[in-house]
Structure 1
Amino acid sequence: MSANLTQLETAARAAAVTLHAYRVDVDVRDARDEAVTQFPVVSEIELTTTAPDTWIDFIGTVDGVTVDGEARPVDHDGARLRLTGLTTGTPIVVRVAGRGVYSRTGEGLHRFIDPVDGETYLYTQYEPSDARRVFPNFEQPDMRAPFTFTLTGPAQWWLGSNQHEESRQEVADGVVRVTFAPSQPLSTYITCLCAGPYHRVQDAWGELELGLLCRRSLAPYLDADELFRETKAGFGWFTTHFGDYPWGTKYDQIFVPEYNLGAMENPGLVTFTEAYLFRSTATPAQLQARCNTLVHEMSHMWFGDLVTCRWWGDLWLKESFAEFMGSHVSVEACGFDEGWVNFATGRKVGAYQADSMPTTHPVVAGIDDLEAAKTNFDRITYSKGASALTQLVHYVGLDAFLAGSRRYFAAHAFGSGTLTDFVAALDAETVQDLSGWIGAWLETAGHDTLRPDVTLADDGTVATLRIERISPDDARRPHATTVGRYGLVDGKLRLLGRDDVLIDADVTVVAVQDGAAGPDLVLVNDLDRTFAAVALDDRGRDVLLRHIGDLEPLARAVAWTALWTELRTGRLTSRDFVSAVLGAGEAQSGLLAAVLNWALTAVSRYTPEAEASVLAVAWRDGAREALTGAEPGSAAQLLWAKAYLSAAALAPQDVAWVLGGEVQGLEVSVDLTWLAWQSLATQGKATDTELDAVLAADDTAAGKVARLRCWASQPDGAVKAEAWRRAHVVGGETNEHVDALLAGVGALGQGTLRALFADAYFDGLESVWRDHPIEIAMRLVRGGFPDDGLGAGSDWLAAHPQAPRTLRRLVTEAVHEAEVAATARRD
């Protein structure tokens, strides 16, 4: 099957073929019957070609092909339908009838059966190249055309697409055929179909109809008032700065099950993961993260949808832009003041880690084919790119950045654009020279380290303050940022002064005011304006470990990231890091969630074996003390409760008291209940009968996933073997069930049991990659890597130089993380 597509061949196809219109008819009337695995589809594509031979993409079964009504032989290899002898120079209509396959992996047309009520729900997910799993098409972003979709399904279902419903016809008893209005020109990957008995709530923003949808069983968790508030605030900001909404008269946002992403920017029908429908009280950071995603996708209505990348090498441009806008607009328009704080210790830290790997790549990456595009939906593309754009905004100014964006949209509306096009639009709005900036920030891999060096005068004031820029290459990245000088005043760490600085040399002297007091801590980039590792001197590190809680939230985010980096590079011990987390009194929910996860990693992976059990007990007991001492009902109390439950799994201790109402103010939600049973299962203290009783009280999709993970977490070799087998059955478990099984096999403190599958893991890597859909294959490769796989992983890479490039990348990254852990564990 020739499922992979290269940039060169698709560019040649785009040069030869001009698309005029699609008419796509999908029939899901039988979707409720699980025995029915396929659905009928017909694509009619009007096009003009200058080449007599081309191909159409379709992963399914082709039943017939006509060109201008004349039947043609079917030449289909399972992915490409070849067309030959086409009339050139005049419009023709190609009609393909076939059958697609319902998905269980979140790729193409995904089918989900709700265990609560037995109802069936369908939705599509395509980026970058899975529209061809649903209908025959030209699967590349620069071949756009208007779409007219028709969807046939049960009359009582909600049937939806990018545009509003234009007509409805009853075609059989209880079956309707809905035709949607023609769209503006779209790329295939941002088209969308959804069908099922979805619960829908409606509102309006001016003349634009707004809709929110979810499964019926999740309707109690659809906080429509807040979601509509954020939606309206987002539209107010974007239309003010970018112009009118370009995609018609309606904007639906639908929450769907077993979703592989956070969300997808389909115009007029944006899909979101159901994880954003909180079944228990959400922390402020969780609410901000959801809003961030909501406005991220909304920004794509202009950058990404109105103007689409020509090929996936410019994927970063739309995603970096949307990532920046997610944080910026959630703060500026939606009222989440700490959006940039959460970005700093959430998405951005992931980008630092990815950028430190041997597989790092420039933000502007060469993407030769679709397989590479799939794995380049990564933290560098999103979060490092967004950090680079933050620097660009500081460099050219926000007004110029927004004006350049408007110019770009106007010049390339309903078409494709490139980085060169965007830079040209910015150039027209700023006096700054962008040529050097683009090369330094976007076309090089890796990131700089910024190290402070302060010299004091005899009277204790600052004589000189210099910043050393240490680069892994000769990129010479300029950093427009700040340097914070902090001192201990009456036992508290206080800001003494902050200096704006442009770091554009290997050593930059900071212009500090005469007579400035000597600092106890110099924190470079303390307002997090650039993308660079922040180095600490011995004095600064010691001060932070004892006083990090005294800093303001954004400076704390930078400082926590610096300590985390020092831990991962072996310059800080797990013991000291965990002590800092326990003593900081951190209350900002985004920061606290991040550092609690880091502390658990430090205890479970980064601690020397001789110290591991002692530190695990100290972390567990410290988490218990923080939980019982937290403000009742606070986000901190909830986060410490979750931290304690995980810690008790690693250093076994009873957790029933958490569920028994002994913690005043703690919401014992269904999610917290499952976490407690997860801890007990990992300790070997949960029977199947007990877990079945918990499931009976929460017999939902989320409950079944949690029950499966609990089962697989038991410290029983036979259970682990069966969980491993089930996860690897081709066409077996759904995407979320694979995750649950692998998480259970790799449960905390069970590295010895997990090691039993190391040989099977490495022996099966190539067959896993060959036999499974790429989404499942990536989960199996990442989730199955053994804890002690550094040596075996390195050996596998050396012995398999010809293995698929993307598979080698995933294994290389897992080996790198194992090496980081080994470095951190060294005494």
Structure 2
Amino acid sequence: MGDMSANLTQLETAARAAAVALHGYRVDVDVRDAADPGVLTFPVVSEIELTGSEDTWVDFIGASVESVTVDGEPREVAYDGARIALTGLPGRRCVVRVQATALYSRTGEGLHRFVDPVDGETYLYTQYEPADARRVFPNLEQPDLRAPFTFSLTGPQRWWLGSNQPEASREVIADGVVRVEFEATRPLSTYITCLCAGPYRRAVDTWEGMELGLLCRRSLATYLDADELFRLTREGMAWFTTNFGPYPWGTKYDQIFVPEYNLGAMENPGLVTFTEAYLFRSPATPAQLQARANTLVHEMSHMWFGDLVTCRWWGDLWLKESFAEFMGSHVSVEANGFGDGWVNFATGRKVGAYQADSMPTTHPVVAQIDDLEAAKTNFDRITYSKGSAALTQLVHYVGLDTFLAGARRYFAAHAFGSATLQEFVAALDAETDRDLSGWIGAWLETSGHDTLRPLISTDPDGVIDRLAVERISHDGASRPHATTVGSYSLRDGRLELVARQTLVIDGDTTEVDVLVGEPRPDLVLVNDLDHTFASVALDEPGRAVLLGHIGDLEPLGRAVAWTALWTELRAGKLTAAQFVGAVLDAGETKSGLLSAVLGWALTAVTRYTPDSEVDVLGDRWRDGARRALLTAEAGSAAQLLWAKAYLKAAAFAAEDVSWLLAEGAVPGLQTSVDLTWLAWETLATQGAATDDELDAVLATDDTAAGRVARLRCWAAQPDPEVKEKAWRRAHEVGGETNDHVDALLAGFNALGQASLRAPFAGRYFESLNETWHVHPIEIAMRLVRGGFPDDHEAGASWLAANPSAPRTLRRLVLEGVYESQIAAKAKGAATRRPGLPNLGD
């Protein structure tokens, strides 16, 4: 990973794009021996048709390169493990043929190989973004060098063999072995090509003459709710083709759920890959179903924005992802009928963006991406969620119809090519009279976000003589905010909306005249419909009212209010005890909101509470969660979420949870496989589960997910020897798959075991540089983030002592330091506010 020849830069790829004209690829991949665990490699032949006269290179990260020819003429193989030198090109159209040997992957990068423990079957899939196609076949790996691809795949005859395009021909080449050639693609970037192979189950439907496919492993076929997924697909296709134009990628649209996946999904045209986490083995909440729909239409929107028109370089990565993130929420609401789409966005993805945008490592939405390592870490909440929030502002600024018309103009102008932000803005400019130059600069080319705060003054009788919104810019930017201001008053013990004003905040203060001359409301909530991206400040009276009445607000207002309270907790303006009390008292029932605030409350207890108070607050949170579980509506999503919250709380504030494993222990609560594993993880964390007991649970669920859960339980045990073994296994080079590394780190970091982890802090920092250089980046990032000890001083010391460490590694450590400082600040603020409020019996 530390090899500079593997870390492509923008400057050198721009030079290659100027020197080489790319015409097409023919790629042959042979995976006939993939089911043999002793076979670690596979042969590949890549024929690249191009025109060029300058010396250049072909990208390939594999085991070996056997031969290179140009128009059949052998060339010397000059290969450094990442690049194949290409010299003496004839200056005319020619074919470069590379015969090589590639490596199967266990990290979710390149061609990932998975063996299903249920039936021993082998499954393969590819994942490339931003630059891992070179782990499968030799190519020119950069997004702006697009070309048609003709793939052929050799594998077992009984397997499903798939790619971006439909099968064109099939030839039996040996007993039980076939070679399938696929139809040629339209011009594609390397990173959105795709190959999948294995005994996948495939369900089929049609839409407007197009074949729709859904695929998953055989052992998961019972969880493939094809009717619902096809519904979402048909509705999404209808919306996008109506608003964007005809589907540009041919006659089939496969969506395949794959194991040990690093992402939520990937927008390969005609063969979209999804994580198997979207095949629910246990009852799914409405928020989980909406999140899946969101992802499905997010990837579908990429068929136009990102695939039909691709970013020229990864600095414009945000453009396709922000666009798709916006479309995921919008279309899941407008076409798929998930009314809570924007509510879930507000307390899910958007809160992560606020936190990322508050860190010292924040960056503009339009980021400077010099190389691939920087691109890899910029698949973050700034790129996705802040960018999406900015696009939401842009939609409010120019209007939805204008925005969609600009998108259609952009697609038409740059179809099957690459483009930049400037070209997208030019397409919008042609459809609107608004001046976008100032908006682009303020929203996309600056980092950080504003705080919006109500300013209220009254006369001696409590009548408002001035109501305004103050915009506090923390970075000097002048961002306009098209938003709303809601005013709420207590009536008969409930908080009700009195008035709402829509306005554009474009100065340091903006007047709100709707309630001038009226009695002062109990709460003024800026941005109460969540139209903009800004921190919302609360005044003291409003904060006090919210803590006891947040449940009275409408869902979108609650999302904004919960986010404001969470932000104030992290800023030290609110104690963990106050926040936990609000969560217990609110009676929240919206599954997206409830899932978010339950997670925040657990963090408040375990990380933001002073040591002297943590036992008391931990017990109260656990007891409150148990009460909420037992009083929730039978069979509701809230009941399930409170059950999970109780189990996690009991892992920290130890209590025997075995009673919950009995069928019918809580009327209406299904003791599902996932809930069962969570209960056993709690028992394991307490040291109350033996290996024999955990093995017995595994025997009832000996699946890939079951084995991952069993590994988490093992690593969660409060045993120094187990922690040592878990640490070693997670850090062994080439030792564990991506999912197993996650499980080991999750168990290692089990709640309430800080003293057991303390001895590893020194080892973590001593080995950081080695960890970064010896592991693939996917594993290295997990180890750096998941192993960071809660010690901001040690982290700061390491940063000071390692100024020349790789930028991406320093960024991850700096983020760990920041979060540790946030925890320390929150604890300190609570310590300065003595007394723990009564959270109820």
The reply to whether TM is greater than 0.5 is yes
CA–CA distance in structure 2, aligned partners of residues 257 and 514 of structure 1: 59
Distance in 1 separating the partners of 2:163 and 2:291: 26
Aligned partner of residue 627 in structure 1, secondary structure: helix
Q: Which residue of 2 aligns with 1:554?
A: 556
CA distance in 1, matches of 2:649, 2:518: 45
SS of the counterpart of 1:472?
coil
For residues 551-630 of structure 1, the aligned pairs below 5 Å read 551-630=553-632
Q: Which position in structure 1 is the counterpart of 2:788? A: 785
Structure 1 equivalent of residue 467 of structure 2: 465
Give the aligned CA root-mean-square deviation in angstroms: 0.7
- Residue from 34, 52, 55 that aligns with 1:53: 55
Q: Which of the residues 725, 739, 744 maps onto 1:741?
A: 744
The letter for the 2-side match of 1:195 is A
Q: CA separation in 2, counterparts of 1:318 and 1:461?
A: 49
**What aligned pairs does 1:716-731 form with structure 2 within 5 A after superposition?**
716-731=719-734
Q: Secondary structure at the match of 1:359?
A: coil
Q: Which amino acid aligns with 2:324?
A: A
- Please state how far the C-alpha of 1:52 moved relative to its aligned partner: 2.7
What is the match of residue 123 of structure 2? Answer: 121
Paired residues for 1:390-789 under 5 Å? 390-660=392-662, 661-787=664-790, 789=791
- Equivalence for 2:811: 809
What TM-score do you get using the length of structure 1 for normalisation?
Answer: 0.99
2:26, 2:48 within 8 Å by CA — same for their partners in 1? yes
Match of 1:226 among 216, 225, 228: 228
Q: Say if 2:318 is the partner of 1:313.
A: no
- Whichever residue aligns with residue 39 of structure 1, its letter is F
Shift of 1:513: 4.7
Post-superposition CA distance 1:711-741 (Å, at most 9, x none): 0000000000000000000000000100110
Distance in 2, Cα, partners of 1:805 & 1:474: 26
Residue 287 of structure 2 is aligned to residue 288 of structure 1: no
Residue of 268, 271, 279 corresponding to 1:269: 271
SS in 2 for 1:467: strand
* Paired letter, 1:695: L
CA distance in 2, matches of 1:543, 1:459: 20
Partner of 2:306: 304
The residue type equivalent to 2:270 in the other structure is G
2:304–2:411 CA contact under 8 A, matched in 1: yes
Letter in 1 for 2:28: D
In the other structure, the counterpart of 2:835 is: none
Distance 1:493 1:133 in 2: 58
Shift of 1:568: 0.3
Q: Which residue of 2 aligns with 1:182?
A: 184
Whole-angstrom CA distance in 2 between matches of 1:431 and 1:516:
38
Deviation, 1:141, is: 0.1
SS, match of residue 362 in structure 1: coil
**Amino acid aligned to 1:242:** F
- Report the counterpart of residue 839 of structure 2 in structure 1: none
Q: Deviations over 1:321-360 (max 9, x none)?
A: 0000000000000000000000000000000000000000
Q: Is the 8 A contact 2:266 2:299 kept in 1?
A: yes
1:19 and 2:4 matched = no
Supply the distance in 2 between the matched residues of 1:624 and 1:589 (Cα, whole angstroms).
17
Measured in 2, the distance between the counterparts of 1:52 and 1:471 equals 50
Which secondary structure state, in structure 1, belongs to the residue aligned with residue 628 of structure 2?
Answer: helix
CA shift for structure 1 position 403: 0.1
Look up the match of 1:210.
212
| Aligned-partner Cα distance in 2 for 1:225–1:196 | 23
Q: Aligned residue for 2:837?
A: none
Residue in 1 aligned with 2:351?
Answer: 349
Does the aligned pair in 2 maintain the 1:461–1:517 contact within 8 Å? yes
Say if 1:462 and 1:512, in contact at 8 Å, map to a contact too: no
Within 5 A, what are the aligned runs for 1:239-258?
239-258=241-260
Which amino acid is 2:644 matched to?
Answer: K
Task: Name 2:94's counterpart in structure 1.
Answer: 92
AA aligned opposite 1:305? D
User: Could you tell me how far apart the structure 2 residues matched to 1:231 and 1:724 are?
Assistant: 42
Q: CA deviation at 1:462?
A: 2.3
2-structure distance, mates of 1:102, 1:181: 25
- Matched to 1:720, the amino acid is K
State TM-score, norm by structure 2. Answer: 0.98
CA displacement 1:671-696 (0-9 Å, x = unmatched): 00000000000000000000000000
Note the 1:105-184 alignment, pairs <5 A: 105-184=107-186
* Secondary structure class of the residue paired with 1:140: coil
Partner of residue 40, structure 2: 37
Report the alpha carbon displacement of residue 206 of structure 1 after superposing the two structures with TM. 1.0
Deviations 1:222-256 (A, max 9, x none): 00000000000000100000000000000000000
- CA deviations on 1:769-802 (whole Å, 9 max, x unpaired) are 0000000000000000112x21110100000000
Deviation at 1:94, TM superposition (A): 0.1
**SS of alignment partner, residue 132 of structure 1:** helix
Displacement of 1:458: 4.3
Partner residue of 2:81 out of 75, 78, 82: 78
Whether the aligned pair in 2 keeps the contact of 1:170 and 1:177 (CA below 8 Å) is yes
CA distance in 2 between partners of 1:325 and 1:63 (Å): 45
2-structure distance, mates of 1:593, 1:243: 37
* Residue 67 of structure 1, CA deviation: 0.3
Partners of 1:509 and 1:705 in 2: CA distance:
56
3-state SS, counterpart of residue 92 of structure 1: strand
Alpha-carbon distance, 1:659 to partner: 1.2
Contact (CA 8 Å) 1:112, 1:121: kept in 2 or not? yes
Q: Report deviation, 1:271.
A: 0.1
Gaps of 5+ in 2: 832-841
> 1:783-824 deviations in whole A, cap 9, x for unaligned?
00112x211101000000000000000000000000000000
User: Helix, strand or coil: the match of 1:473?
Assistant: coil
Partner Cα separation in structure 2 for residue 457 and residue 410 of structure 1: 59
Q: Which blocks of at least 5 consecutive residues in structure 1 are unaligned?
A: none
Q: Judge conservation of contact 1:492–1:547 (CA < 8 Å) in 2.
A: yes
Does structure 2 retain, via aligned residues, the 8 Å contact 1:41–1:97? yes
Partner of 1:64: 67
Give the residue type in structure 1 aligned to 2:673: V
- The within-5 A match list for 1:325-404 is 325-404=327-406
What SS is found at the alignment partner of 1:653? coil
Report deviation, 1:662. Answer: 1.4
Kept after mapping to 1: 8 A contact 2:458/2:466: yes
1:127 and 1:511 map into 2 onto residues whose CA distance is 50
Q: Distance in 2 between matches of 1:638 and 1:518?
A: 40
Contact 2:467 2:515 in 1 (8 A): no
Q: State the 1:515 CA deviation.
A: 3.9
State the Cα deviation string for residues 19-68 of structure 1 (Å, max 9, x = none): 1110000000000001000000000000011x331100000111100000
State the AA in 2 paired with 1:644. Answer: Y
Partner Cα separation in structure 1 for residue 725 and residue 516 of structure 2: 70
**Structure 1 CA distance for aligned equivalents of residues 165 and 386 of structure 2:** 34
